[in-house]
Amino acid sequence: MYKAISIFLCLFLVSCGGAGSNGDTKSPSLKLSQNVLYFKDYELGVSAETSAVTFTVENQKESIFVVAVNHNPELIDQIYVSSVGLMIYPAHPYKYHLSPGTYQGSITVSLCKDSVCKAPIAGSEQVINIVYDVLKNPS
């Protein structure tokens, strides 16, 4: 089965802070409000409810991008990045012919120096694990 190429979504974050330096040499880091998302829907269901994951960027000294990579398009349909978090829209089980069962996947969220993440910031990568239960349609 053909797997779609990962989708990159990004958001430019405006740098904050004043002029000068306090000697702090820590790299920017990303903190997520949660690292596991659970979705549940019937195999012919419309779609499970969306989920929001908030984030904070610490030690930000310059403008950076937040990039989310969807590794499982059969489970996650869309990801929108805002200045404070991610809105994650699960896929419709019938669209990918998902039989009843439990499916697992992931989304990788990174801080980057460019919008396509050719220059990721070392150590900033975070993984959101996805657990999607597809239930048998009610009789």
pLDDT digits (tens, 9 = 90+) for 41-97: 998 877 678 999 999 999 888 889 999 999 999 999 999 999 889 999 999 888 888
Q: What is the domain count for the chain? A: 1
Sheet strand arrangement including 76-81:
29-32, 51-58, 85-90, 76-81
Q: Is residue 13 part of a domain?
A: no
Q: Is residue 47 part of a domain?
A: yes
Q: How far, in whole angstroms, is CA 5 from its chain's centroid? A: 15
Work out the angle at residue 84's Cα, subtended by the Cα atoms of residues 91 and 13, and round it to the nearest 5 degrees. Answer: 110
Q: Which residue has the tokens 């697992």?
A: 104
In order of 20, 30, 45, 95, 103, the CA distances from 77 in angstroms are 43, 23, 14, 10, 14
The CATH number assigned to the domain holding 49 equals 2.60.40.3450
Q: Is 36 exposed, middle or buried (0-12, 13-18, 19+ CB in 10 A)?
A: exposed
Q: Which domain holds residue 76?
A: 30-135
Write down the mean pLDDT value for the chain: 82
The pTM assigned to this predicted structure is 0.79
Q: Is residue 61 part of a domain?
A: yes
